[in-house]
């Protein structure tokens, strides 16, 4: 399987090299106003592919990072909230100050 993967990428690389050598000519791009830029056609195509691929790749990496954070948070054992007092001193039913603790008959 590794051989087929390597063969595929070699074919892609050779195809790109042949395309680049046969189309190595200047292309004039009208930027804005009278401003123009001359750039080689394969370089222009590589820049356009990079501009289209980079945002998608960054979004994918961000989502993977977020998913890993969620998995780590789920796998982490739950921790009890610490109040600074030992568990024996905590009153499960606190009484408001000034109120009687027992009902009046």
Q: Does position 36 have pLDDT exceeding 80, yes or no?
A: yes
Provide the CA 28 distance to its chain's centre, in angstroms: 35
Sign of the dihedral through C-alpha 85, 91, 95, 101: negative
Domain ranges of the chain: 7-75
> What is the per-residue pLDDT across 49-85, written as a single tens digit (0 to 9) for each?
999 999 999 999 999 999 999 998 888 877 766 666 5
> What is the per-residue pLDDT across 13-35, written as a single tens digit (0 to 9) for each?
999 999 999 999 999 988 888 99
**Encoded tokens for 56:** 């998608």
φ/ψ of residue 25, rounded to 5? -140, 160
Average pLDDT, the chain: 84
> 26-30 and 36-40 as β-strands: parallel, antiparallel, unpaired?
antiparallel
Tell which wins on pLDDT, 43 or 96.
Answer: 43
pTM: 0.56
Q: DSSP state, 81?
A: P
């Amino acid at each position: 399987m590794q051989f087929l993967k390597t063969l595929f990428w070699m074919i892609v690389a050779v195809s790109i090299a042949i395309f680049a050598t046969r189309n190595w000519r200047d292309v004039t791009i009208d930027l804005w106003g009278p401003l123009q830029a001359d750039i080689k056609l394969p370089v222009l195509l590589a820049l356009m592919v990079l501009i289209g691929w980079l945002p998608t790749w960054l979004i994918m990496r961000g989502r993977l990072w977020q998913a890993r954070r969620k998995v780590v948070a789920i796998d982490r054992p739950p921790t009890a909230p610490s109040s600074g007092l030992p568990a024996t001193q905590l009153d499960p039913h606190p009484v408001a100050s000034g109120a009687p603790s027992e009902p009046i008959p």
